[in-house]
Structure 1
Amino acid sequence: MNNDYFDGLFDLPHEPLPAPASTRLPALRRTAAEAVRAAAAARGRAVRVTTYVLAEDHDALARQREELLAYAAKRGWAATSEHFGETTLTPAGAQLALNDALQYVRRAFADGILMPGRDSIRQEPDAYERTLRRLHDWSGFIEFLPLLRSPAAGLVRHR
């Protein structure tokens, strides 16, 4: 067998393999958020956020929205007067309120969208990545409430 064919094959420049979605997407989300927060600080203004909630019913929407607003206030962020939400009865592919929130950021009415967690966005990883990249292009970000560790309960949402 002639090995000349393989000579230098492994010396060719190559693209590194992409990181798995489980690490790549949170890093992309964090990077965009850090860039937007730094830009707002450089301009001497508060980060402006809107909220998006996907909940079981309208009472849960209101409760989660209040939790998001409290978190924004604690961070020193300015919450916009416009808030977006829908119930879990909304078909997964038709999150119209989420699309409205994204357009709100695109039009620069807010710097970012504050949500309870990743489960608020019912998108497959590829679609979610496109959403994050689109927001990054628009100088926007998505922020989730942090998970706090409790020895008794495991992971629980920020309260």
Structure 2
Amino acid sequence: PLPSAFFLTINGLILIAAERLSRKNSAISLHEDAVDNIATHITPVSALAVGFGQSLALFAGISRFGITISAGLLRKMHHSVSAEFAFLLALPVIAGASLLKLPELFTPELRHLAGPVIAGSIVSFAATYFSISFLVKWFKTKTLYPFAIYCLIVGLISILRFA
């Protein structure tokens, strides 16, 4: 728990730093209707930088979503473009993990769980869809500061608790 608490605190600091640096570097401001095709707003170098940022989420406590948006902001991408790209980057990982675990559902020991797993997957898909819709709309006008503050508070409290 202590390393996770430490990285959660670091995560909050990274999010704040990315917000401040993106403001200082004057991230490209896009109108709501201009974010129709994120591919036109992402360069290959930016895609690599965001992908590298995503790899930092291998550390427990580092938010994959937060770190990929931060990397996008540091590459002067708009919040909403960074958010959409972060969600797109998650799709192959989620699909791959699902396909990897799917055969286990059909073993005799777990066959009785197929119904609950399918129901849970449908509910999870719906919740994810609505969460993504909300967050993409949020990032058209808002920042990562609320999430950064949450990470700092929970991380610091956890460090005190587990130290």
Higher relative contact order (CA 8 A, sep 6+): 2
Higher helix share: 2
Please give the TM-score of this superposition, normalised by the length of structure 2. 0.29
Q: Which has the larger radius of gyration?
A: 1
Higher strand share: 1
